[in-house]
């Protein structure tokens, strides 16, 4: 059996929209990007959403907004040590200094208890990451931010569908930044989007994604500006507002073809979300049988996890290596990904910042011993059971514990009465 890491939904609606876009030759950012933004904002329960070219751009532009609200180049942004490298890259690309905080090993998210000691008079924002779709402790993060008058930007790259105390990821802070990469629940193939409840933030975001452009009227936002733009010469007869640049910007617009994929994804979002969450929660429930050799994240009563993937962390008691484990999974057709790394100490690009191995022990352990596998919508109960049996076989072989498979089978049978299978 083959279990790919991810897949993408290309709907009939998307195909029709792409045909129409190609017929009109209007490929750059336009009305379909705007439609996608409005629908995404509604989905997350925010007033605004601004689509950009990648998830990294979403992080970077959200941070760059802060220059309009008092931040200075070189100011500090607090981020977790463990994340996909784009989190740290975005901080640097936006002109800030990343300040790393170790994660809680159980949740894999930033440890709020360790944030306070990293705050200085140059700190401007905290960027928690909802890693693997599990919400960070946003109450604690927001309390710290309020106390120290800091902005908060959610890195919600993997958190489509996640909720925290009844509120959607992307609506829990000043801004939320999502990735729309091909394997995510909502995808535009490549792409990202920033959500916010502040119209002044959204206005700056639209300027930033188009080189820092001054004109932000609807016609220009939709790439329809021409001689009829009422503000075109508002800076003077000899000055075209479309070529006035108010701030250091980016070239980060989403195009119409990408938006068409996203609009189609939104139409089937609930179906995809429910199937992926059913897969994730079923695997998480059965995963208890693999302790103390393997652990994964756990769902807490106040949250719903965005079903991006199933993380697994090899424990000290396991007695086998990650290479052995990954080799077994891949040999049995299960695609794997390592579970990121400690950016400051395990990613060579950050070496110049001067951090040393041992500075972030939890992030480093997960970076050395973590992997994740897909839970996407094309998987059903049959595929999930296959994954569990492959895991069980491996652990039984390496631990000499045949009870693992037997116990797993018994518990799985009992759970069928309470957990509906994916068809």
Domain of residue 358, CATH code: 3.90.1150.10
Q: Are 335 and 414 in contact (CB under 8 A)?
A: no
Please tell me whether residues 146 and 247 are part of one structural domain.
yes
Angle made by CA atoms 363, 137, 103, in degrees to the nearest 5: 10
| Listed residues 227, 243, 266: the one ending a domain | 266
What are the pLDDT tens digits along the chain (423 aa)?
999 999 999 999 999 999 999 999 889 889 999 999 999 999 999 999 999 999 999 999 999 999 999 999 999 999 999 999 999 999 999 999 999 999 999 999 999 999 999 999 999 999 999 999 999 999 999 999 999 999 999 999 999 999 999 999 999 999 999 999 998 999 999 999 999 999 999 999 999 999 998 877 666 666 654 546 667 776 666 677 778 899 999 999 999 999 999 999 999 999 999 999 999 999 999 999 999 999 999 999 999 999 999 999 999 989 899 999 999 999 999 999 999 999 999 999 999 999 999 999 999 999 999 999 999 999 999 999 999 999 999 999 887 543 334 333 444 344 333 333 333
Assess if residue 363 is contained within a domain.
Answer: yes
| Listed residues 248, 266, 284: the one ending a domain | 266
Assess if residue 3 is contained within a domain.
Answer: no
- Tokens representing 402 are 């045949």
Please tell me whether residues 258 and 359 are part of one structural domain.
no
Residue written as tokens 């876009």? 21
Count of beta carbons in the 10 Å neighbourhood of residue 403: 10
Task: Please give the helix or strand (H or E) that residue 75 lies within, else none.
Answer: none
Assess if residue 381 is contained within a domain.
Answer: yes
Q: Which domain holds residue 167?
A: 12-266
Burial class (CB in 10 A: 0-12, 13-18, 19+), 185: buried
Please tell me whether residues 224 and 279 are part of one structural domain.
no
Helix (H, G, I), strand (E, B) or coil at 256: helix
- Rg (C-alpha) for the chain, rounded Å, is 23
Please tell me whether residues 23 and 126 are part of one structural domain.
yes
Q: Are 249 and 288 in contact (CB under 8 A)?
A: no
Question: Helices 269-287 and 256-267, interaxial angle, to 10°?
Answer: 70
């Amino acid at each position: 059996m083959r279990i790919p890491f991810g897949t993408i939904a290309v709907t009939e609606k998307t195909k029709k929209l792409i045909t129409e876009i190609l017929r009109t030759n209007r490929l750059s950012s336009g009305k379909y990007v705007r439609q996608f933004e409005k629908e995404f904002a509604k989905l997350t329960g925010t007033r605004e959403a601004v689509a950009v070219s990648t998830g990294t751009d979403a992080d970077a532009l959200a941070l760059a907004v802060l220059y309009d609200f008092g931040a200075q180049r070189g100011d500090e942004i607090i981020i977790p040590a463990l994340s996909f490298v784009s989190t740290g890259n975005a901080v640097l690309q936006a002109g800030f200094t990343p300040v790393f905080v170790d994660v809680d090993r159980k949740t894999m998210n930033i440890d709020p208890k360790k944030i306070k000691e990293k705050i200085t008079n140059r700190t401007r924002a905290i960027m928690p990451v909802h890693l693997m779709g599990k919400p960070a402790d946003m109450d604690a993060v927001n309390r710290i931010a309020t106390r120290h008058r800091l902005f908060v930007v959610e890195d919600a790259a993997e958190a489509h569908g996640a909720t925290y105390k009844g509120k959607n990821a992307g609506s829990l802070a000043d801004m939320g930044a999502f990735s729309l990469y091909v394997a995510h629940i909502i995808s535009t193939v490549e792409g990202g989007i920033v959500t916010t409840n502040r119209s002044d933030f959204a206005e700056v975001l639209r300027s930033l994604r188009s080189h820092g452009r001054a004109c932000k009227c609807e016609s220009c936002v939709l790439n329809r500006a021409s001689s009829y733009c009422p503000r075109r010469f508002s800076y003077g007869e000899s000055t075209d507002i479309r070529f006035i640049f108010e701030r250091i910007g980016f070239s980060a617009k989403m195009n119409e073809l990408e938006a068409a994929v996203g609009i189609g994804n939104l139409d089937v979002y609930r179906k995809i979300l429910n199937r992926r969450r059913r897969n994730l929660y079923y695997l998480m429930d059965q995963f208890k049988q693999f302790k103390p050799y393997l652990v994964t994240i756990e769902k807490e009563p106040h949250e719903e996890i965005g079903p991006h993937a199933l993380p697994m962390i090899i424990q000290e008691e396991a007695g086998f290596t990650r290479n052995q484990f990954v080799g077994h999974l891949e040999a049995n057709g299960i695609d794997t990904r390592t579970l990121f790394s400690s950016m400051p100490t395990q990613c060579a690009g950050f070496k110049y910042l001067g951090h040393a191995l041992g500075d972030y022990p939890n992030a480093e352990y997960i970076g050395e011993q973590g992997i994740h596998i897909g839970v996407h919508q094309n998987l059903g109960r049959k595929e999930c059971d296959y994954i569990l049996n492959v895991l069980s076989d491996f652990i039984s072989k390496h631990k000499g514990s045949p009870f693992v498979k037997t116990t797993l089978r018994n518990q799985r049978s009992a759970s069928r009465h309470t957990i509906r299978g994916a068809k």
